Structure 1
Amino acid sequence: MGDQFPSNCRIVEKGDLAVGCVTVSQSDGCVHIEQLYIAPTYRNRGFGRAVIEEVLSSARLQGQNVRAQVLADPDILRFFEALGFVATSRTTRTIALAWSAEPNQLNCGGTCND
């Protein structure tokens, strides 16, 4: 893959150093977080939180809900729940998450156009 990334991928940087990436898309009237990666040595330093907060802020301004599908890991779930996401479905491997642009309307079980 080299230095070529999809156009919807943003590199997370600390100064001139790339420490991770986030890939976000929009469809069905909502924002989809497709991938969030922070290099292991930079985890638990607020980079991931800052990136997701930026995505949520932008979505809130546009009145869009946000969806993510993550590995079924308790630490990952706690990370997203702390940012206001709720689990909408689960399998043994993944958890579907939703965040609502309207804080009092966490009915995120349907589509983003609801």
Structure 2
Amino acid sequence: MEIRQIPENKRYFLPLLLLGDEQEDMIWRYLDRGTLLALYDGGRLRTVAVVTDEGGGVFELKNLATEPDSQRRGYGRAMVEHIIESCRGRGTRLLAGTGDSPLTIPFYERLGFQESRRVRNFFTDHYDHPIYEAGRQLVDMVYLAMEL
């Protein structure tokens, strides 16, 4: 496994980023100011992530997406663990914003994140279409936090 920082040509990764954030204009709000990371295994792109520096020692994981045929094989976990280690010593807190999904919340909790706050109606107010995960419409943005 190899994780690379992608400094340019970030648009190339848009199809995979859209798995983690379904609306393109939302991705453009953070992609250029964020650090794009790509995880390769066996020469294949498996997972991408975007991390932003929010200032004051706070980093935020804005997007995490794994190729569908590579999911549930530890790639997402490896990427988040890499991000945690790279943020330690440079910051004090790592945030992850996600929908209130029975798939994603437990994933982050197993990695040591705890729910810190919710933004009510985030997905219904900011997205031009309903977003569903595991059969549930996402409405609120859930912020999970980890002290570094």
Alignment pair present for 1:23 and 2:50: yes
Partner of 1:73: 101
Identity between Structure 1 and Structure 2 (%): 24
Partner of 1:97: 144
Question: After TM superposition, where is structure 1 displaced by more than 6 Å over at least 4 residues in a row?
Answer: none
- Superposition RMSD on alpha carbons, in Å? 2.0
User: Taking structure 1 as reference, are residues 15 and 93 closer, same or farther at Cα in structure 2, changes over 3 Å only?
Assistant: same
CA distance, structure 2, for counterparts of residue 63 and residue 93 of structure 1: 26
Residues 26-66 of structure 1: per-residue CA shift (max 9 Å, x gap):
12221110100001111110000010001111222334210
Alignment pair present for 1:3 and 2:30: no
User: Taking structure 1 as reference, are residues 2 and 53 closer, same or farther at Cα in structure 2, changes over 3 Å only?
Assistant: closer
Higher helix share: 2
CA distance, structure 2, for counterparts of residue 53 and residue 2 of structure 1: 25
Alignment of 1:13-92 (within 5 A): 13-28=40-55, 29-90=57-118, 91=120, 92=139
Gaps of 5+ in 2: 1-9, 15-30, 121-138
Gaps of 5+ in 1: 102-114
CA distance, structure 1, for counterparts of residue 52 and residue 11 of structure 2: 22
